[in-house]
Amino acid sequence: MVKVVKFGGSSLASAEQFKKVYDIIKSDDARRYVVPSAPGKRFSDDTKVTDMLYECYAAASKGKDYKPVLDKIKERYNGIINELGLSISLDKEFDIMETCFVGKAGRDYAASRGEHLNGMVLADYLGYEFIDAAEVIFFDDNGNFDADKTDETLSARLANVEHAVIPGFYGSMPNDTIKTFSRGGSDVTGSIVAKAVKADLYENWTDVSGFLVADPRIIDNPKVIKTITYKELRELSYMGATVLHEDAIFPVRKEGIPINIKNTNAPEDEGTMIVESTSKKPDYTITGIAGKRGFITVNIEKAMMNSELGFGRKVLEEFEKNGISFEHMPSGIDTMSVLVHQAEFEAKEQEVLAGIHRNTHPDSIEIESDIALIAVVGRGMQATRGTAGRIFSALAHAHVNVKMIDQGSSELNIIIGVKDEDFEKALRAIYDIFVLVEI
């Protein structure tokens, strides 16, 4: 059996955390390929190494004094090295990094050094081979991930390597400059490595014991989801659930490789298994709830709208012209509502409205701001009658007015729009009716 294991920033924030990671890896011979993040926060008021690197680069590239921040970065890594009793020295790496910062090598290069240096330390600690991600993870000239070249190169490189550490988050462009994934991209690297070695399992170690049914900042001690499908995870990730980078799903999904979300601080916990499909019944009718604030609804009304060819296209064209993507578009016979991000819309508000008036001649247009969207997701909803009824009954009991409802044909999720001020109240009401009542 072959496992790829990725450890997040909180799992590698200190020497104490490194020791936990060492024990986890060494306790299972199948854990052969390791993908580390940069050191995260050791305590709530601490600063992540990636943020310090950004700060250091900003100062150095502008000719300002960057030495104090650089010294703090050195102190973080050297502190870990000394506490672990390692003999590795990063002095040469720091010298190269300093030269590149002053030479304006780019923010991506700066950010990538967190994972690069942590990978070197972890490889030395484990006695594993260190493989620079820039040599095996590739992007094309437009900055898009080159999946085919990466898979071919990485598969060949790891074919005869029993154990390796490949730092997450970054790769290289055709001109050899460093390019990073979006923040949290070490999850993606782990998935890419898992695909390349045809792993049996991709373990993603973090500081929570799996994917939670709801946001713990809103719901007290929410239940852990034992098993979730890729489709369910996509829906929840899109609506703000952030345990795993949403792009991390794609490489392993193609190969049918499951992902196990585990807790570095409680390795005995089962965590959450993310799979293509499953015959296992979920513990509750719903799998999870997630939501986002900050939307706006543009409500368009016109008599006989339903019989006018191209009406919807003409409306959406105006949003497209102004670089605004829409989230949902519920409609009636004479009405059509377009939900968009409020921050994007406000900057182009009058241009969009004027364009809609010119092209569609509506009877009226009304705007409603400060809307929050909540996604109720679950494969169990497909076989359960009355799910929507229970949701609306719970919201009515909590005195929450529903502004919008949208359900896909898959019956996998229901999207509900409420006022921002009712967002947390609505989440609690839905959680209570499906989780606490069903226990």
Quick one: tokens of 111?
């950010």
Which of residues 382 and 131 earns the better pLDDT score? Answer: 131
Give Cα separations from 65 to 56, 109, 113, 428 (angstroms): 9, 19, 19, 49
The mean per-residue pLDDT over the stretch 386-404 comes to 93
The CB density around residue 76, as the number of other CB atoms within 10 Å, is 22
**What is the predicted pLDDT for the residue at 161?**
97
The string of DSSP letters for 184-221 reads TTHHHHHHHHHHHTT-SEEEEEESSSS-BSS-TTTSSS
pLDDT for 123-159, tens place per residue?
999 999 999 999 999 999 999 999 999 999 999 999 9
The mean per-residue pLDDT over the stretch 368-383 comes to 91
Has residue 260 got a pLDDT over 60?
yes
The mean per-residue pLDDT over the stretch 292-297 comes to 95
- Determine the Cα–Cα distance for residues 8 and 380; give it in Å rounded to an integer: 31
Token look-up 């959406």 returns: 316
46 lies in a domain? yes
The CB density around residue 219, as the number of other CB atoms within 10 Å, is 20
Query: Domain limits at 219?
Result: 3-275
**What is the predicted pLDDT for the residue at 438?**
66
Report the predicted TM-score, pTM, of the whole model to 2 decimal places: 0.87
Which of residues 120 and 240 earns the better pLDDT score? Answer: 120
**What is the predicted pLDDT for the residue at 44?**
92
The string of DSSP letters for 232-282 reads HHHHHHHTT--SS-GGGHHHHHHHT--EEEEETT-TTS--EEEES---PPP
Q: Do residues 259 and 302 share a domain?
A: no
Domain count, the chain: 2
Boundary of a domain, candidates 223, 253, 275: 275
- Determine the Cα–Cα distance for residues 150 and 158; give it in Å rounded to an integer: 12
Could you tell me what percentage of the chain is helix, strand and coil, using 3-state DSSP and rounding each to the nearest 5?
A: 45, 20, 35
Q: Which residues pair with residue 306 across a beta bridge?
A: none
Has residue 110 got a pLDDT over 70?
yes
Has residue 184 got a pLDDT over 90?
no
Which of residues 400 and 233 earns the better pLDDT score? Answer: 400
111 lies in a domain? yes
Please give the single-letter amino acid code of residue 191: S
Has residue 170 got a pLDDT over 60?
yes
339 lies in a domain? yes
- Determine the Cα–Cα distance for residues 398 and 428; give it in Å rounded to an integer: 9
- Determine the Cα–Cα distance for residues 48 and 40; give it in Å rounded to an integer: 4
**What is the predicted pLDDT for the residue at 409?**
67
Q: Do residues 200 and 296 share a domain?
A: no
Based on C-alpha coordinates, what's the Rg of the chain? 24
For residues 410 and 392, the answer to whether their CB atoms sit within 8 Å is no
Give Cα separations from 98 to 104, 130, 167 (angstroms): 10, 22, 20
Q: Do residues 213 and 360 share a domain?
A: no
Quick one: tokens of 158?
């790891």
CATH of the domain at 419: 3.30.2130.10
Q: Do residues 132 and 266 share a domain?
A: yes
**What is the predicted pLDDT for the residue at 238?**
78
For 63-72, 236-245, 326-335, 400-409, which range has the lowest pLDDT when averaged over its residues?
236-245
Q: Do residues 116 and 243 share a domain?
A: yes
pLDDT for 90-104, tens place per residue?
999 999 999 999 999
Q: Do residues 244 and 367 share a domain?
A: no
**What is the predicted pLDDT for the residue at 439?**
56
Q: Do residues 295 and 194 share a domain?
A: no
Q: Sorting pLDDT into bands at 50, 70 and 90, what band is 181?
A: very high
139 lies in a domain? yes
**What is the predicted pLDDT for the residue at 382?**
78
Q: Do residues 294 and 176 share a domain?
A: no
Q: Do residues 299 and 196 share a domain?
A: no
Has residue 75 got a pLDDT over 80?
yes
Has residue 80 got a pLDDT over 90?
yes
**What is the predicted pLDDT for the residue at 283?**
86
Boundary of a domain, candidates 214, 244, 275: 275
**What is the predicted pLDDT for the residue at 240?**
74
Q: Sorting pLDDT into bands at 50, 70 and 90, what band is 237?
A: confident
pLDDT for 397-423, tens place per residue?
999 999 988 887 667 889 999 999 999
CATH of the domain at 245: 3.40.1160.10
Share of the chain above pLDDT 90, in %: 84
- Interstrand relation of 259-263 and 201-206 (parallel, antiparallel or unpaired): parallel
The mean per-residue pLDDT over the stretch 167-190 comes to 95
407 lies in a domain? yes
Q: Do residues 176 and 271 share a domain?
A: yes
Boundary of a domain, candidates 217, 246, 275: 275
Q: Do residues 172 and 298 share a domain?
A: no
Q: Which residues pair with residue 373 across a beta bridge?
A: 292, 417
